[in-house]
Amino acid sequence: MDRATRLRHITEVDRHVSECERGICEQEERIADMDRRGHDTAAALDLLETFRAAQTQHLSHRDLS
């Protein structure tokens, strides 16, 4: 892989990490709001775990780049 392609790839991976982190924070806020309002948070918590698993994969990918 040439340098330019590698830099584009790293930039893309960093973007994925940032977007996923933002999604995790937003989901945590949604869950807190749902909990305050007395709503069932089971599905929202499951989705949060999916986001966290994706973030783990993004970070591993970034570390390999």
Query: What total number of domains does the chain contain?
Result: 1
What pLDDT is recorded for position 37?
98
DSSP string, 9-41: HHHHHHHHHHHHHHHHHHHHHHHHHHHHTT---
Whether 51 contacts 25, CB under 8 Å: no
What is residue 30's predicted lDDT score, i.e. its pLDDT?
A: 98
Q: Spell out the per-residue pLDDT of the chain, length 65, in tens.
A: 799 998 999 899 999 999 999 999 999 999 999 999 999 999 999 999 999 999 999 999 888 87
The reported pLDDT for the residue numbered 57 is: 94
Range of the domain at 11: 3-64
